[in-house]
């Protein structure tokens, strides 16, 4: 996997249908422990609610979990999970709290309501793309620093830190798919005098 979609922040949104209040909460998570902690946090916050339905998807172990939390089977947890899958999301958890308003919604009504609440939650938390990136380092003299500082963004990278001593050390990140082209251009414009060293590979948000 070189890229994936997830959520940027924790957030929530809500709506009411036939006097039933649905509150959708969404949060980026990376482990089952984080997902369970978030679910329990919402359950504790809304201890008096009729239902706290949830679904989450993780890259770790390609995990998918959901719960109807007392709603008729297939009318709550699966619709929430389906929203995450249709959006292509992973490493995230959605909890939909329902305060029953006294009017039955029926199976179809519940599916629509939980799907809508989940979509509201996801949209409020903002979908972002994470891409495999290279964090790398270059060392050069002061005479080449200006060219290096401009070459990195020209090639799609981002300078993270520059350290000035007897030489200049620049740490930057760049999508892995663009790193080879950057290295070729670096070699060409420095006449082979400056090279790049990979420090690590990490997933970062690509805007």
What pLDDT digit, counting tens, does each position of 62-79 carry? 999 999 999 999 999 999
**Same domain, yes or no, for 26 and 72?**
yes
Q: What pLDDT is recorded for position 103?
A: 82
Per-residue pLDDT reduced to its tens digit, 104-144: 888 999 999 999 999 999 999 999 999 999 999 999 999 99
Where among 92, 125, 158 does a domain terminate? 125
* Same domain, yes or no: 11 and 112: yes
Provide the pLDDT for residue 2.
Answer: 85
Looking at residue 105, what is its pLDDT? 87
Return the CATH number at 103: 3.30.230.30
**Pairwise CA distance, residues 35 & 7, whole Å:** 13
Residues 11 and 110 in one domain: yes
Last residue of a domain, one of 125, 149, 173: 125
**Judgement on whether residues 96 and 117 belong to the same structural domain of the protein:** yes
How many distinct structural domains can be found in the chain? 2
More confident residue, 4 or 207: 4
CA separation for the pair 63, 57 (Å, rounded): 6
Inter-helix orientation angle 77-86/106-125, to 10°: 40
pLDDT at 89: 97
Question: For 17, phi and psi rounded to 5 degrees?
Answer: -135, 125
For residue 40, CA distances in Å to 56, 94, 124, 151, 157 come to: 13, 12, 21, 48, 39
H or E, element range at 85: helix 77-86
**For all residues of the chain together, what is the average pLDDT?**
95
Tell me: do 138 and 38 sit in the same domain. no
The residue range of the domain holding 103 is: 3-125
1: pLDDT strictly greater than 90: no
Render the burial of 82-113: b for 16+ CB within 10 Å, e for the rest.
Answer: bbbeebebbbbbbbbbbbeeeeebeeeebbeb
Same domain as 43, residue 119: yes
**Residue 150's CATH number:** 3.30.70.240
pLDDT the model gives residue 192: 94
- Whole-structure pTM value: 0.85
* Euclidean distance between CA atoms 156 and 68, whole angstroms: 44
Domain boundary among 88, 103, 125: 125
pLDDT of residue 106: 87
Query: Does 163 have pLDDT greater than 90?
Result: yes
Confidence check: pLDDT of 197 > 80: yes
pLDDT attached to residue 141: 94
Q: Are residue 21 and residue 115 in the same domain, yes or no?
A: yes
């Amino acid at each position: 996997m070189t890229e994936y979609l997830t959520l940027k922040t924790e957030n929530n949104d809500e709506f009411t249908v036939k006097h039933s209040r649905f509150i959708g909460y969404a949060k980026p998570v990376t482990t089952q422990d984080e997902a369970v902690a978030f679910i329990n946090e919402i359950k504790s916050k809304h201890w008096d609610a009729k239902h706290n339905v949830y679904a989450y998807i993780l890259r770790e172990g390609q995990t998918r979990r959901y719960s109807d939390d007392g709603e008729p089977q297939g009318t709550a947890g699966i619709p929430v999970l389906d929203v995450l899958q249709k959006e292509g999301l992973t490493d995230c958890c959605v909890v939909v709290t329902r305060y029953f308003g006294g009017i039955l919604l029926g199976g179809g009504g519940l599916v629509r309501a939980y799907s809508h609440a989940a979509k509201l939650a996801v949209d409020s938390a903002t979908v972002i793309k994470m891409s495999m990136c290279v964090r790398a380092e270059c060392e050069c003299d002061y005479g080449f620093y200006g060219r290096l500082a401009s070459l990195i963004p020209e090639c799609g990278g981002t300078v993270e830190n520059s350290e000035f001593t007897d030489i200049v050390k620049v740490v930057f990140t760049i999508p892995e798919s663009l790193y080879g082209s950057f290295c070729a251009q670096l070699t060409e414009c420095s006449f082979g005098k400056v090279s790049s060293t990979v420090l690590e590979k990490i997933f970062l948000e690509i805007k």
